[in-house]
Each structure stands twice: as structure tokens, then as C-alpha cells.
Homo-oligomer: A and B are copies of this chain.
Amino acid sequence: MFFASDNAGPVHPEVLRALSAANDGYAKGYGAEVIMDRVRAKVREVFEAPEAAVYLVATGTAANSLLLATMTKPWETVFCAPMSHINEDECNAPEFFTGGAKLTLVPATNAKVTPDALRRAVLAEESRGVHGPQRGPVSVTQATEKGTVYSLVELHALAAVTQDYGLKVHMDGARFTNALVRLGCSPAEMTWKAGVDAVSFGGTKNGLMGVEAAVIFDPALAWEFELRRKRGAHLFSKHRYLSAQMDAYLTDGLWLDMAKSANAASDRVVAGLRAAGAEIVWEPEANLVFARLPRRVHQRLMAAGAVYYLWDGEVDAGDPDEMLMGRFVCDWSMSDAAIDAFLAVLAQV
């Protein structure tokens, strides 16, 4: 009954097998190894982007920060939702890697930036010449940190705004695949066909040890990204152990299967929460859900062994009927038995 985070789960056995297979004598490093050639080709094929620049790093914050730094001048501002990972959970890494750019927080609806709010935020940065920050890229998270998913229509509506002002679009895809399989569209449709210029294509939350691909659809930015990666200390010498993970990920649909498992598990949790009368805070469309339950219910769940975070209070002390928001995340490895057990406790309360 572990619902605390999708980066607390194990890696898929195929990934371990790939690492063992890669551990074969000497190999070039720094991304020049043969496996990386294969990975690059696979990513380009997956994204239907034969020219895309493809790089691997080990953390989502690295992928986001390096991409944003490559897309943003230090005197610009990045438009993003207040709850975006780049704003809340990276300890100012984007500010660090960009050399001191700003983040402009765009009010979000259902945790998603809306075209109207974006346009207002962009217009508000227009009129002060050198005095104000200059307009930089827009960063969207797909799926969002609150478990919602931008539809293709929504992405296109945002693109209409960014194109009006010539702004680039970055997609934080830490849970890219969870969104993708929910939408049932292609990676190309969810990215460059919808105006996205660069994407952090996450693997860590979806069954890898620690690998994210930075995919840049305009290869003109590739060399700068490479220099920023090296200078940010994110270029691995024994790079084959990154590429082997991504290679396994993209083999035989493993990435899709894991995301589908996580989403399906989450759907069961959501159904159980709804049945128990929980208040669902954001529309759950990926592999995580935020739900409000009375403290006494949280106490029962946790006493029974459920592990998850409360967002706005302590489980122990306070009014038993006070509603507290919990976050429930399912990773690829979530077992039916664990969900069954969780739902059983829920059903009792």
C-alpha cells in the first residue's frame, strides 16, 4: 500500500537485464557508445522527428533546467503554472541554470495553464522596454503535478498564444507517458505537432533508475545543450549505463506498458476513493490523485499500512472530521493485491 511517490518504486527487471548486458568490456563513453546510437534512433522514431537532438541525463530537474537554460536568456521570464515542478520543487535550479532568469506564475485551472491566463501574463510583460523582464518560453507539465492532463485541443490552444508572441514551448514530461497513454495519441501529436519545441521525456518515474531524455526538435540548439550539460556536470563518462536503460525502456513497448499499469492502478484507487465519498481535488487523468478525506479516515488508512503524503495537515493531531488532502500515487509496479488491500480498508471506513 505504498502510494507516496512514483519515484520510490523499483526499476523494471528488463532494465536491470539491460544494464548487465551493457556491462561488457570496454566501450566509448560520453554518449559516443553504440547503445546511444540506437537510443537516438529510437527516440527520433518514437517522436517522428528524424532531426531531433536527443540527450540523456539522470534527473528530471537536470532535463528541465538544461532545456530551459538553452531556451531562455537570463533577462527573460519563463511562463509556468504556480504548481509546476520547476517553480516549487527544484530549489531554484531553473534560475541557476539560466543564469538568473525569472519565472512568471500563470494562474492555472485544474493545474493547467489556460490560453487566456497565458495571454494576460504575456501581455503584462510587454510594455517596459529594457526595464522589465523580457518574454521567454512557456513551460507546461504533461501530465501535471496534480495528475491532470492537457488534451491535444488544450495544447493547440496554448500554441496559438505562444505563436502570437513568438514564444518557445518547453514540456516537462516527467510523467509524459502516463499522459500519452491516457490521451491515446502519438508522441509527435503531443509535442511538436502541438507547438512544443523541447521536451523532458521522463523515465525515472516510470520504471527506470534515473534517466530522462532531453529532446530538442530544433537541432540548431543541440551544441549549446551539449556544452550546458557538460558544464552542469551532467555528462556521464560511463554513459552506456544511461543509454542501456533508455534502450530497454523503448524496446517492445515497455515504456507504454508501465505507464498503462500505473494509470490503471490509479484508476482503481480513484474509483475506491470516490466510492468512499472522498472529494477529488483535481481531475485524475494520469497516475496520481489528490483527495480530501476526514482525518479519521487517513488515520485508519495509515494505521492499516497505507503510505502517502498529506498536503495540508498532520494526521495525528486535530479534529477527526477535518478534511485533509492526501496524494495517492501509483507507479508501474503497484500490485493488485496492494490496491485490493487499500480498497478494502477504504470500504470499511
- Scan residues 64-95 of chain A and give those whose CB is less than 8 A from a CB of chain B: 65-66, 73-77, 88-93, 95
Q: Considering the complex, give the chain B residue whose CB is closest to the CB of A22.
A: B10
**Alpha-carbon separation in the docked complex, A333 to B95 (Å):** 41
CB distance from A239 to the nearest CB of B (A): 9
Q: Does A328 contact B (CB under 8 A)?
A: no
Contact stretch, chosen from A98-106, A252-260, A273-281:
A98-106
- Count of residues in A whose CB is under 8 Å from the partner chain: 76
Q: Are A91 and B210 in contact (CB-based, < 8 A)?
A: no
Q: Are A237 and B130 in contact (CB-based, < 8 A)?
A: no
Given contacts A19-B19, A92-B102, contact A230 B74 (CB under 8 A): no
- For A128, give its contact among B75, B89, B307 (CB under 8 Å): B89
**Alpha-carbon separation in the docked complex, A134 to B209 (Å):** 28
Q: Which residues of B contact A30 (CB under 8 A)?
A: 130
**Alpha-carbon separation in the docked complex, A105 to B77 (Å):** 14
- For A99, give its contact among B29, B91, B99, B130 (CB under 8 Å): B99
- Scan residues 291-338 of chain A and give those whose CB is less than 8 A from a CB of chain B: 307, 333
Q: Are B99 and A210 in contact (CB-based, < 8 A)?
A: no
Q: Which residues of B contact A92 (CB under 8 A)?
A: 74-77, 100-102, 133, 231
- For A210, give its contact among B74, B204, B236 (CB under 8 Å): B236
Q: Does A233 contact B (CB under 8 A)?
A: yes
Q: Does A119 contact B (CB under 8 A)?
A: no
- Scan residues 44-76 of chain A and give those whose CB is less than 8 A from a CB of chain B: 57-62, 65-66, 73-76
Q: Does A120 contact B (CB under 8 A)?
A: no
Q: Does A28 contact B (CB under 8 A)?
A: yes
- For A96, give its contact among B7, B224, B226, B232 (CB under 8 Å): B232
Q: Which residues of B contact A88 (CB under 8 A)?
A: 128, 131-132
- For A232, give its contact among B24, B105, B232 (CB under 8 Å): B232
- For A26, give its contact among B2, B25, B233 (CB under 8 Å): B2
Q: Are B10 and A20 in contact (CB-based, < 8 A)?
A: no
Q: Does A349 contact B (CB under 8 A)?
A: no
Q: Considering the complex, give the chain B residue whose CB is closest to the CB of A66.
A: B233
Q: Does A182 contact B (CB under 8 A)?
A: no
Q: Does A147 contact B (CB under 8 A)?
A: no
| 8 closest Cβ pairs, A-B complex | A7-B237, A95-B100, A62-B233, A61-B233, A2-B26, A130-B230, A99-B99, A91-B231
Contacts A74-B231, A210-B238 known; list 14 others, CB within 8 Å.
Answer: A2-B25, A4-B26, A5-B29, A9-B26, A10-B26, A57-B233, A61-B230, A75-B230, A75-B231, A91-B133, A91-B227, A96-B99, A100-B231, A130-B235
Q: Measuring CB to CB, which residues of chain A are less than 8 angstroms from any residue of chain B?
A: 2, 4-5, 7-11, 13, 16, 19-20, 23-30, 57-62, 65-66, 73-77, 88-93, 95-103, 105, 128, 130-134, 204-205, 209-210, 224, 226-238, 241, 307, 333
